[in-house]
Amino acid sequence: MTTTAPPRTGKRTVRKDHPGAAPRTRRPGRLRRISLPYLLLLPALVLELLVHLIPMVIGIVVSFKELTQFYLRDWSNAPWSGLDNYSLTVDFDAPVGEALLSSFFTTCLFTFFSVGLCWLIGTAAAIFMQETFRGRGILRTIFLVPYALPVYAAVITWAFMFQRDNGLVNHVIHDQLGLTDSPPFWLIGDNAFITLLVVSVWKGWPFAFLIMMAGLQNIPREIYEAAALDGAGVWQQIRRITLPSLRPVNQVLILVLFLWTFNDFNTPFVLFGKSAPASADLISIHIYQSSFQTWNFGTGSAMSVLLLLFLLVVTGLYLLFTSRGRSATDA
Amino acid sequence: MAPPKSFLVSRLVFLTLLTGFVLLPVYVMISSSLKPLQDVSGKFQWIPSGLTIQPYFDIWKTVPLGDYFMNSLIVAGAATVFSVVIAIFAAYAVSRYSFRGKRLFTVTVLSTQMFPGILFLLPLFLIYVNIGNATGIALFGSRAGLILTYLTFSLPFSIWMLIGYFDSVPRDLDEAAKVDGCGPLGALFRVIVPAAIPGIVAVAVYAFMTAWGEVLFASVMTNDATRTLAVGLQGYSTQNDVYWNQVMAASLVVSLPVVGGFLLLQRYLVTGLTAGAVK
């Protein structure tokens, strides 16, 4: 059967020997050439539809339904409730809305401090490591460890360190330094906010460091040399050259850090479990709890939709603002 | 010109403190994993009174860690393979062709990356319940169902990062391949993919890492048989006690595959991660 046909793998060499030989018989037609990009995209499109677009449409539909555990098996037949879920969610005098609002403010405050500290530490580390020195490569590798460790393994270790009776933190501040009268609780109560912040910064700053290192590489060395000739010291160079040059990188970095931190579920979930203390009740955990603990999917979906709208508005405003800022400085 | 003393001292102090902060949990993880249970249950000790490797044997018996390991491996591995293979085709189309709807596609891919996972969790849960009711196929709790949910985050960034890598492969190369008689797919697999191998490996490692560390979907979409490491590690706490030495040993064991892969490939990974932000 196959003896008469030339071996497939030989085709290329044959053609190379005879440059004028006719191209492959199945020459792609016009239609095929136009549709080729779409054929290539097809698998991705189908999956995007399946995992993103359809779920989002369902999420929006469900937010207008009265979906409690009684209708879970047959949710598409759950009764419509109009805007009830939304009015319940934004009624800030009633328990549901009040809890959501307080969770929203907690998340904003947490995001502000976490992003700020990640940015500060990451930028400082990148600037200090811009010049080569002995041990720089090893330090760089060490600094990437928090980024590489699986969230649950790293955060569970922090949870152990913050245990009241057998943790490292209380051992140091209470037993060794004697700073407190009695060992404080770190995973419940108001201190939980600080705990969450420490862990989040530990996990998040290496990303800022990475991006900043890459940004610094793009600054031409000649500018520094010229500045040094003009008598500018290292600190002056950092203030006048390094920091202004990092502005475009900063804009992307801060947006990405904001989205990650604001949406973070893993860190609080591993630290505190299914219900976080009020001081550290981030919005993702709050929606999770409203949906899967009380099985009220309608309100949970309404909260998700509101969260999405908020993120879209903030991101849109931020992009508008920063691109305006950029074109203004360019002009 | 040597930097002034004030700069050198600040650098030394800052980098020393930061190294301490970064390595503190690593030290706690390693040292506590080698302590007997009574040591980790009492006051913390910087220097262990006695060392034991018993926790490393016990972790496999206290909870079925081997099964969880297998589940994580299958789910993270499959999600990685699917997203990278599908992303290769999509990224090739975006990188090399102009077509109607290209901008819409890239904007959609980019924006789904910023949506929180919780947004997709509820609807996917409902879809799985529905499919289960209609066809009897139990997606909820199955590995296949979990793999599909992991594509919500691994597919967008695989596409996004691969577009960047493919753009960095010179167009002359695939033009030359086409002159030599390669079709579009031939050019993709004979020229672009081989040239972008470091990038593809980096994307795969990154996708695997992210799936390996995922907690949200794993905690809702798994049952006893399909539980992954993310949920399984919680099994070391009982009503009365938490086996902290075993928790730490298990954390170290489950971290090794991804930390090793990351550190080996960090150069490529860092290029890919930072390319989009810095350009």
pLDDT tens digit at each of 279 positions of chain B:
577 889 999 999 999 999 999 999 999 999 999 999 888 888 898 998 889 999 999 999 989 999 999 999 999 999 999 999 999 999 999 999 888 889 899 888 888 888 888 889 989 998 898 888 888 888 888 899 999 999 999 999 899 889 988 988 888 888 888 888 888 888 888 889 998 888 899 899 989 999 999 999 999 899 888 999 999 998 888 777 889 999 999 999 999 999 988 888 877 777 766 665 554
Q: Contact A211/B127, CB-based, under 8 Å?
A: no
Q: Contact A265/B22, CB-based, under 8 Å?
A: no
B14 reaches A (C-beta below 8 A):
yes
For chain A, the average pLDDT equals 85
Alpha carbon of residue A13 to chain centroid: 49
pLDDT (0 to 100) of residue A94: 86
Q: How many residues does chain B have?
A: 279
Alpha carbon of residue A133 to chain centroid: 32
- What 8-state DSSP symbol labels residue B3? P
Which member of A38, A151, A259 has the closest CB to residue B114? A259
Which has the higher per-residue pLDDT, A24 or A114? Answer: A114
Q: How far is A156 from chain B (nearest CA, A)?
A: 8
pLDDT (0 to 100) of residue A19: 46
Handedness of CA B153, B154, B160, B161 (dihedral sign): positive
- Cβ-Cβ contacts under 8 Å between A and B: the total is 274
Mean pLDDT of A102-131: 96
In this predicted structure, the answer to whether residue A248 has a pLDDT above a threshold of 70 is: yes
Which member of A59, A158, A252 has the closest CB to residue B277? A252
Mean pLDDT of A134-144: 91
B174 reaches A (C-beta below 8 A):
no
Q: How many residues does chain A have?
A: 331
CA torsion angle for A155, A160, A163, A169 (degrees, to 10)?
-90
pLDDT (0 to 100) of residue A14: 41
Spatial distance between the Cα atoms of B113 and B128, rounded to a whole number of angstroms: 22
Q: Please report residues of B whose CB lies closer than 8 A to that of A75.
A: 126, 129-130
A171 reaches B (C-beta below 8 A):
yes
pLDDT (0 to 100) of residue B35: 93
Q: How far is A2 from chain B (nearest CA, A)?
A: 23
Burial bucket for residue B179 (CB in 10 Å: 0-12, 13-18, 19+): exposed
Q: How far is B89 from chain A (nearest CA, A)?
A: 5
A251 reaches B (C-beta below 8 A):
no
B37 reaches A (C-beta below 8 A):
no
The residue whose two tokens read 């950092």 is A238
Which member of B90, B123, B216 has the closest CB to residue A55? B123
pLDDT (0 to 100) of residue A6: 43
Nearest C-alpha neighbor of A44 from the set B124, B108, B90: B90
Spatial distance between the Cα atoms of A59 and A81, rounded to a whole number of angstroms: 14
Q: Three-class SS of residue A28? A: coil
Report pTM.
0.88
Q: Please report residues of B whose CB lies closer than 8 A to that of A307.
A: 116, 118-119
CA torsion angle for B253, A200, B157, A108 (degrees, to 10)?
150
A-chain residue closest to B42, CA distance: A166
Select the highest-mean-pLDDT range: A175-179, A315-319, B117-121, B145-149.
Answer: B145-149
Alpha carbon of residue A117 to chain centroid: 16
ipTM of the complex: 0.92
B209 reaches A (C-beta below 8 A):
yes
Spatial distance between the Cα atoms of A29 and A25, rounded to a whole number of angstroms: 11
Which member of B6, B41, B181 has the closest CB to residue A15? B181
